[in-house]
Each structure stands twice: as structure tokens, then as C-alpha cells.
Amino acid sequence: MADLPKDHSYYVVDKDLKSLLDETMKMERFSAKVKGMTIVLRLLEVKDDKYREFQSKLVPNIPPETIIGVRTPELRRIAKSVFESCDRDAFLNDLPHKYYEENLIHFFMLAMIRDFDLCVQSVERFLPYIDCWPVSDQATPAVFKKNHEKLLPFIKKWISSEHVYTARFGLRMLMNEFLGEDFREEYLDLAASAEGDDYYLKMMVAWFFATALAKRYDETVSFFENRRLDEWVHRKAIQKAVESYRVTDEHKKYLISLR
């Protein structure tokens, strides 16, 4: 076996390599920041100050200075452009974002991922950073629709989360994907199990049950007859169902009597 160099030059090589790797990582982080700034500049080019004021009132729980004021069609256009560019991974890995619109773009991009495993992994990574209901509600990954069996365990986990917007997202996915052909009555119990006093969570539970009354009335109405839901949720779900064109007049009249 050859003797190691007595001058320990191999340590110098290792040190130089480590230094190079450190610099490379710094450059990658810097590059991600620059690309993020580029996206912000694109957002600033299409901002609408009046729309910013409207959004600030619509989402009062986040600082108004984090809202640029960009309408949804522009956000979708930018999201598609970034998703198809070499900047995609850098943007998706650069968390947390500073602006509300960046978060919307992020979720629009996740919804474009066609591989289920990659998509759900990316969604799980992003969910803890969601801080308002519009980001939670805007996007639905198309790949979820063809992978219900694989999706369901994630939905159950999300609904049980203590993070309001993760639970809200899980409820919305249950509502969107499992009130149709793949419906089971146990999913009503799953939605009812969502716990918390947060307004945006309770509103989502009410929205779920109002939709369930429209799509699965016979299986759902007993939750109201037996008053199995939180009182506020009970009344809000009936209100939304009565306002829905998908619920028959006969059913609306009966639901009103259950208020």
C-alpha cells in the first residue's frame, strides 16, 4: 500500500473541494433568489392597485404589504410560463415566498405536475407555508383525479392536521374528489371529524356538507336531522345548501325546518 503524502496535501484537496461545494451551494441559493426576484418583477409589471385593495379586504389575516395585486388570469399565465422554464425547480424550492401572489403561482404550478408521487410530495412540502384561504382553495392537481386510492391516506392525514390551511385543503380535496362515484358514507364522518374553532376551517366543513347535501342528500341529511355537527357549521351548511341551485326546492324546504 502506497504511503500517504507526508505533507498531508490530500487534506488540502479535501478542504478545497469542501470550499468549492460550499460556494456552489451559495451560488445555487443566490440563483434561486434572483429567479424569485425576476418573478416578482413580472408580477409588479401587471399589478393593479385597486385590485390590491380588494384582495387586502378579502384576505385580512395576512399583512397587506405582502399583496401585490395581480389578477388570477395573469397569475396563471406566469405560472405556466415558469413551470415550462428552467426556473421551475429553483422557484419551487425557494420557500418561504414573500408575496401572496408567489404562493398562488406556486400552487398553480404544483397542479400542473403529472406524476402523482412527485405532485403529492411537492404539495406536502408546500402546505405548511400556506397562510390564507385563497391559496388553499385555488388549485386542484389534475393528477389527483386518477389516483384516488393513493390520494385518500394523504387526505385523511391533512384533515387531521392542526395547521388550519392544511386541514382546509384536505377537506376540499375530499369534497372535490370523493362525493362522486368513489363516495362512501364514512367520508361524511371524516369531514365531521375536522376539529378547531378557526373560522376558515369551520367554513370549509360547512361548504363540504352543503355540497354533500347537493350531491348525496339521502346519505347526508341525517347529520342535520340528528344535529351531529357544530351548531354554527350546521346552520351555515343549511344556509349554503338553500342558496344552491343544485338542491331541490323540496329539500330546501325541509332543511329550513331543521335550522
Is residue 150 within 8 A of residue 184, CB to CB? The reply is no
Q: Which pLDDT belongs to residue 33? A: 47
Calculate ∠ Cα 183-187-193, nearest 5°: 165
Q: Which pLDDT belongs to residue 22? A: 58
User: Around 87, how many Cα atoms within 13 Å sit in the side-chain half-sphere?
Assistant: 18
Task: Give me the residue label for grid cell 403529492.
Answer: 120
Within-domain flag for 123: yes
Question: One-letter amino acid identity for 21?
Answer: L
Q: How many domains does the chain have?
A: 2
235 and 153 co-located in one domain: yes
Q: What is the DSSP letter of 180?
A: S
133 and 20 co-located in one domain: yes
Q: State the Cα–Cα distance between residues 125 and 65, nearest whole angstrom.
A: 25
102 and 28 co-located in one domain: yes
Within-domain flag for 3: no
Tell if the pTM clears 0.75, that is, is over it.
Answer: yes
224: domain range?
147-259
For the stretch 210-225, what's the b/e string if a residue is b when 16 or more beta carbons lie within 10 angstroms of its beta carbon? Answer: bbbbbebbebbbebbe
Q: Which pLDDT belongs to residue 38? A: 83
Is residue 90 within 8 A of residue 31, CB to CB? The reply is yes
105 and 17 co-located in one domain: yes
Q: Which residues contact 169 (CB under 8 A, 6 or more apart)?
A: 127, 130, 136, 137, 158
Domain boundary among 120, 145, 170: 145
Q: Which pLDDT belongs to residue 215? A: 97
Q: Is 12 helix (H, G, I), strand (E, B) or coil?
A: helix
Domain boundary among 105, 128, 145: 145
Q: Which pLDDT belongs to residue 138? A: 87
Q: Which pLDDT belongs to residue 74? A: 97
Is residue 65 within 8 A of residue 52, CB to CB? The reply is no
Domain boundary among 124, 145, 166: 145
Q: Which residues of the chain register pLDDT less than 50?
A: 1, 4, 8-13, 17, 20-21, 24-28, 30-35
94 and 194 co-located in one domain: no
